[in-house]
Amino acid sequence: MIKAIALDDEPPALEILQSFCNRIDCVDLQKTFTKSEDALKYLKKYPVDLLFLDINMPAISGIDFCKNLPHKIMVIFTTAYSEYAVEGFTLSATDYLLKPISFIRFEQAVERAFAQWKSQNQNQEQQYLFIRADYSLIKILISDILYIEGLDDYLKIHIQNQKTIVARMTMKSLLEKLPETEFIRVHRSFIVSISKIEKVRNKTIYINQQEIPVSASYETTFFALLNKE
């Protein structure tokens, strides 16, 4: 699912975007902003996939805001002024919506963004994750993850030749971020990297000199996967 935010100095415009996003399954509008400085602070801390961006704002134009984005992000411009369209597309905008925005036109723009997002993810094959830990966003190469250990509301991400990272998140939320062909849950408290498994004896997995149990709830799926390899 696409993670998105919206920036527009007019609250009614944001309410329309929110209502439209609620009707589409592939986009999650996580936050809306009326002030550009607040949106920029959020983006620096929480990378998202898509930005709905008004162009004609009092403090800074959407065009200038787009040029100062802290990381690469898809942008769908929203504005009441058609003369900005050409400049918007020169910034490689995903789409350009003219107010008042119809739901059909909005849906087309989001579908275009989703196709672009899906293509990028397939090409990159999710090579890394950003995990919030120690008051920072820490970049982790997926290929370096050995296994994940769950401890109440915390996770310990065990990484090859690196310090273990402790993050406050759930097993389910992290598993959703990992490539399903490369990671599998084998226990209520363990997710393992399939490629890092050194051996399996009875119902115990060995990874990097660690013994990881396979619980009854997950053993059928796990051993069926091993038999396919």
Helix (H) or strand (E) holding 129: strand 128-133
SS3 of 147, please?
A: strand
Specify the amino acid at residue 12.
P
Q: How far is residue 12's CA from residue 88's CA, in Å, rounded to a whole number? A: 23
Q: How far is residue 152's CA from residue 171's CA, in Å, rounded to a whole number? A: 10
pLDDT of residue 56: 87
Closest CA to 199 of 215, 189, 211, 181: 211
Q: How far is residue 28's CA from residue 3's CA, in Å, rounded to a whole number? A: 5
Q: How far is residue 84's CA from residue 62's CA, in Å, rounded to a whole number? A: 10
pTM here is 0.55
Domains and CATH numbers, the chain: 2-124 (3.40.50.2300), 142-228 (2.40.50.1020)
DSSP assignment letter at 118:
H
Rounded average pLDDT per 10-residue block, the chain, 229 residues: 95 97 94 95 89 91 86 88 57 85 95 87 68 86 93 91 90 86 92 92 92 93 76
Helix extents (H) in the chain: 11-21, 36-45, 62-67, 85-90, 103-124, 171-177, 216-228
